[in-house]
Structure formats: structure tokens, C-alpha cells
Amino acid sequence: LKHRSRPTLPSTGLPCPEPAAMDSQEAQNQIAQMISFIASEAKDRASEIQKKGEEEFSIEVHRLITEQKEKIRGTFEKQAKTVETQYAIAKSMAVNKMRLEKIKARQEVMNQIEADVRPNLVKEGQNAAFITKLIVQGMLMLLENEVVVRCRQADAKLVNGCLGAAQTEYTNLIKTETGASKTCTLSIDTLFLKEGCLGGVALGCFGGKITIDNTVDIRLRLTMEQAKPAIRALLFPSA
């Protein structure tokens, strides 16, 4: 083995002194410092990681809570709206039901009034003066020279006895109202009204192409319709 020469100092040419050996305690101190520094750095880094993790966790928890709140709020609002709609429908149906029941009750009263009046009108249908007026009214609406009068078969004799008086009254009314002289020939129709009706007459001309229904049933129906507001006001003042 070759002996390695020691370096020399340039100024003197003498060999450089060897470095002093590091004692054991100093080395241990440096190692301890390094360990402490590394541990401190690791602790700080771990703390930063933990803090960041906690922040991210808190943000995620807040997001989830907010999301669930919105979901619950949306579900509640939807359920509340459904309940409100069902309540509105139920209320509307109840109001309509009450309204219909009230209308039905009023109509039943009106029907009862009509039913109570019918017996009196049956008697009136046998009154010659009343029948004569019904015939004259129909003649004034037609204003024709020949008119056929239809009645119930049971009333044929009564109505036939009213034709002459009706013709005379018609002529006199035309003369009084217009000054014109006009006559009309009446005859009993070969067809008859239904026996179920209250009586009265129906008039026609031109082979039945033009007709006037002046039966007691029609007159009652028209009277009830015209008098309905007054009857309702009398019977149901608070309505």
C-alpha cells in the first residue's frame, strides 16, 4: 500500500493539522436537535392536515345539512300544497253540495206550489168564460180567417159552445183596436189533446203548420216561470 502524503500549508510547506474529532456528546446533541426539528415539522404538518381535514369535514357536513334541509323543506311545501289543494277541493265540493241542496229544496217548494194550484185550475178549465178568453187570445196571435180549435175529447161539447162567443169577441176587439172589420171562422179539430192535461185549447191553421198552444198546462208553466222571482223573494227573503 502506498502511503498517502498529508497536505501542506502553502506558506510554510508544513503539513496541515488534522481536524479535531467530534466528541460523542456534541454529536448526540446535534442528532437530538435534528430529531426535534423533524418531529416539530411533522407535528406542524400533521396539524395542518388535521385542520384542513376538519375544515373540509365541516364544509361537507354543512353542505349535507343544507341539502337535507332544502329537501325536507321542498317535501313539506309539496305536502302542504297538496293538503291545501285537497282542502280547497273539499270546501268547494261542500259549498256546491249545500248550494245544490238549497236549490233542490227551493225547487221542491215551487213544485209543491204548482201541485197545490193544479186542482183549482182543473175546475177553471170547465169555465166557459175562461175557455172563451183562451180561444180569443189564440185567434189574436194567429190573425187568420179560418182557425181550428183542439181540445180534450171530454171538453169538446164545452169548447164547441164557446166558439160563437169567441168569434164575436175577436171581431169586436179588432174593430175597437184597429177600426178594421175582420172575422174568423172557428171549428173543432178532429184530433184531441191528451186526457192527462188540465184542459184549455190549442189553435192551428194552414193544416197545422202554424199552432198556438194555449192549454192550461202551458199557461201554468208560463205563470210559474214569470212569477218565480216574486215567489222566491216571498218564500226565501234571506236568499
d(CA 5, CA 232): 141
Percent of the chain with pLDDT over 90: 40
Question: What's the pTM value of the predicted model, to 2 decimals?
Answer: 0.57
Cα–Cα distance, 81 to 41 (Å, whole number): 59
Element (H, E) at 41: helix 24-124
Higher pLDDT, 150 or 125: 150
Q: What is the pLDDT of residue 20?
A: 47
- Alpha-carbon distance 8 to 26, whole Å? 29
d(CA 30, CA 62): 47
Of 68 and 239, more confident: 68
Q: pLDDT class for 5, splitting at 50, 70, 90?
A: low
Residue that is written with C-alpha cell 175546475 in the block: 123
pLDDT higher than threshold 80 for residue 4? no
- Give bridge partners of residue 187 from the DSSP assignment: 148
Give the CA dihedral 11, 17, 18, 22, nearest 10 degrees.
-120
Q: How many CA atoms lie within 13 A of 46 on its CB side?
A: 6
| C-beta of residue 216 within 8 angstroms of C-beta of residue 200 | yes
In the chain, the percentage of residues whose pLDDT exceeds 70 is 90
